Amino acid sequence: MRWILYFFTILGLNGAIAQPDFQNATLPISERVDDLIGKMTLEEKVGQVLYNAPAIERLGVPQYGWWNECLHGIARNGRATVFPQAIGMAATWDVDLMQRVGEAISTEARAKYNVSIAHGLRGRYQGLTFWTPNVNIFRDPRWGRGQETYGEDPYLTSRIGVAFVKGLQGDHPKYLKTSAMAKHYAVHNGPERLRHEFDAIVSKKDLWETYLPAFEALVKEAKVDGVMGAYNRTNGDPCCAHPYLMQEVLRRQWGFQGYFVSDCWAIQDFYQGHNLVANAAEAAALALNTGCNLNCGSTYPELINAIEQGLTTEAELDENLRELLPTRFKLGLFDPPGLVPYDAIGPEQIRHPNHVALSKEAATKSIVLLKNKDQTLPLKKDIGGIFITGPTAAHVQALLANYYGLSEDLKTFLEGIVGKVSPQTSIQYSQGALLDEPNRNPMDWYSGTAAEVDVTIACLGISQLIEGEEGESIASRHFGDREEIGLPSNQIEFLKKIRANAKKLVVIITAGSAVACPEIYEMADALLYAWYPGEQGGTAMADILFGEAVPSGRLPVTFVKSIEDLPPYEDYALKGRTYRYFEKEPLFPFGFGLSYTTFDYADLRMSTTTVTRGNSLQVEAMLTNNGDYRAEEVVQLYLTDLEASVDVPMQALKGFQRVNLWPGASQKIEFIITPEMMQLVNNDGERILEPGRFRVQIGGSSPSVRNEKLGASSLLEGFFQLQ
């Protein structure tokens, strides 16, 4: 009888098949969604809240795979442009670049989707809903997934994240180019091994001052389409069924209009890890009733049992579908082919030369120069002899990081350097050391070579084999996390042998986190931090080494000297963490990075030294390139509330600009300090304005006495009173 009734409802009087409302592109999305929901059976509705949503053939609804990744390029779906890992792109401090990277990735995403659909492929990693970016705060270098983030600062994370989301989602008035996602909401930073059972206890002050601002910015400014809940609990409630975070904050306070998805198999943790409920049906009901619209996992099929047991209702399921399904309509997945402007993007856009060039630009801007004794760098291309050595010199994994795509043109450091030097330059190469264990053959046939050449380039570091997500880092002894934050001891011993013979020693370090490397700093004549630089990392590094590009990356995290300088890993309080609350001397300060030129700051001026509540303040300074190279400087503005009623950051980043100057050129730099920037977060998590004295500092790094020892420019400072 159901089929007969359905048959007659879709026929017109003349017997022609009438178009269902959900396929009518002229109708509002809300009407189309309601029409589709009204046509589905309970079993079909349950199928649509699964990440691998099956087709509903009788309605003409195709299969859809919600799960896709693109932290630094299309991941896990074959050929794509591989950009630097997220932490490396954060080291560029370049919001315009990040938006362009997002645009390139979304173009390749549409190209790959169009090709897949044309061949009838609709599986995992072939859709348009990307579970990116990761805007968790990188509070502790032991966390293996910190490489996926934009560092330790909420403001930098917000600006980089907003730009990336805008690039991914596009600016079409009707259609999303792709759907982006803010993850992992909200307080999530490891430990990886405990994430399925861990309760992250955090004060309201830390929650609103540090852990939530980036999520808020992505929701309010970038209109991010999706939010993913974390595995852990936060202050008792699971992050994928958290009434306060998901409903009060996300939906009511911030006005989020998109969809919410669980992290993968996180709902299963409700009864297998957190022990909050007894079984899968109860877990499914708890998540659905709290507004988890989509299950990445295998728990939501139990919703049918949960409804039968009265744990939830079909009406609740319908409400979740009303929040979930609009995404597929905004992507144009129910519209006729050719109507969506992105339907015309073809496979020639995959690894388009412009995208490859953009990857190289991002890698170049991400590289941080930490030391350059006696102008060791740049090297001359016609140098007589170079010895390239170390475990990461030809290590492809050191380019890729985690959640990566694949390229036929991965440029290792060895390849980049070999391709850059003059024909007469003699180059020798030996790996010399294993990644994280002593050489099994103790014979030393490598270190003597360092005495025979003009410069030795030692490529050290780690890769996603050692740090990463819980199960993917196959060489990790700590489930992807790092128990120690220095380089593997065998690499340090290896470098000591090289140093004993080398005339000049350049060290390149790859990692996705801050490495405590004081011994390396002392031994190296020049030290470069490469992060995981993507497919063109070797070419970008060669450009830096030989002066075709000037290093301009800045650290998005603080480098501590030792793990003893950190609080316990499981402690989520910010006291003693990040540059804002770290009271000890760092190895390298947040925001630090050297150049081949020198930048001087002068003439700090403020529009007023007395600001009435609700008004802004203009600050300006003069920046001059006093060196011999055209280069980019990352100008940074920090603010400190000196008379606050509660503990506040020692300094907090409130603005930054990338400025490109020719040798001898000067430029006036201007910032606006808004009332929002002057707010503090009190112990109740409220943002308030208090009268008092403020310090303003402008320079090329965060304020730290360590800067002068490392060779950074002096910061300018001024003061104003808020009345």
How many angstroms separate the CA atoms of 122 and 352, rounded?
Answer: 23
CB proximity list for 378: less than 8 A, separation 6 or greater: 544, 545, 546, 547, 596
pLDDT at residue number 708 = 84
Q: At CA 628, angle to CA 626 and CA 633, rounded to 5?
A: 60
Q: Which two tokens stand for residue 209?
A: 């001052």
pLDDT at residue number 9 = 38
Could you give the residue numbers annotated as active site? 263, 467
pLDDT tens readout for residues 267-288: 999 999 999 999 999 999 999 9
Helix (H) or strand (E) segment spanning residue 64: strand 64-65
- Calculate what percentage of the chain has a pLDDT beyond 70: 98
pLDDT tens readout for residues 229-280: 999 999 999 999 999 999 999 999 999 999 999 999 999 999 999 999 999 9
How many angstroms separate the CA atoms of 134 and 71, rounded?
Answer: 8
According to DSSP, the residues that pair with 129 across neighbouring strands are: 179
Beta strand 385-389 with 455-461: parallel, antiparallel or unpaired? parallel
Q: Check: CB of residue 594 under 8 Å from CB of residue 371.
A: yes
Q: Check: CB of residue 65 under 8 Å from CB of residue 127.
A: yes
3-state secondary structure 13-49: CCCCECCCHHHCCCCCHHHHHHHHHHHCCHHHHHHHC
Place of tokens 């993913």: 228
Helix (H) or strand (E) segment spanning residue 600: strand 599-606
pLDDT tens readout for residues 324-359: 999 999 999 999 999 999 999 999 999 999 999 999
How many angstroms separate the CA atoms of 113 and 91, rounded?
Answer: 30
Taking Cα atoms as reference points, which of 507, 469, 468, 467 lies closest to residue 484?
467
pLDDT at residue number 17 = 64
Taking every pair of Cα atoms in the chain, the longest distance, rounded to a whole number of angstroms, is 92
pLDDT at residue number 471 = 87
CB proximity list for 427: less than 8 A, separation 6 or greater: 385, 386, 387, 388, 417, 418, 421
pLDDT-derived band at 377 (thresholds 50, 70, 90) equals very high
How many angstroms separate the CA atoms of 691 and 645, rounded?
Answer: 10
What is the rounded average pLDDT of the residues 15-24?
82
Q: Is the pLDDT of residue 3 over 50?
A: no
The lowest-confidence range among 14-18, 69-73, 314-318, 677-681 is 14-18
pLDDT-derived band at 447 (thresholds 50, 70, 90) equals very high
pLDDT at residue number 11 = 41
pLDDT at residue number 14 = 43
3-state secondary structure 633-691: EEEEEEEEECCCCCCCCCCEEEEEEEEEECCCCEEEEEEEECHHHHCEECCCCCEECCC
Taking Cα atoms as reference points, which of 226, 135, 124 lies closest to residue 556?
135
Question: What 3-state class would DSSP assign to 154?
Answer: helix
Q: Is the pLDDT of residue 507 over 90?
A: yes
Q: At CA 530, angle to CA 108 and CA 210, rounded to 5?
A: 80
Beta strands in 399-462 (DSSP E): 426-430, 455-461
Q: Is the pLDDT of residue 13 over 80?
A: no
pTM, entire model: 0.96
pLDDT at residue number 515 = 98
Place of tokens 């990692």: 511
Q: What is the mean pLDDT of the chain?
A: 96
Q: Check: CB of residue 186 under 8 Å from CB of residue 210.
A: no
How many angstroms separate the CA atoms of 179 and 132, rounded?
Answer: 9
CB proximity list for 442: less than 8 A, separation 6 or greater: none
- Calculate what percentage of the chain has a pLDDT beyond 90: 96
Could you tell me the domains of the chain?
A: 33-56+181-187+194-330 (3.20.20.300), 356-581 (3.40.50.1700), 599-722 (2.60.40.10)
Q: Check: CB of residue 341 under 8 Å from CB of residue 172.
A: yes
The lowest-confidence range among 285-299, 454-468, 701-715 is 701-715
pLDDT tens readout for residues 621-674: 999 999 999 999 999 999 999 999 999 999 999 999 999 999 999 999 999 999
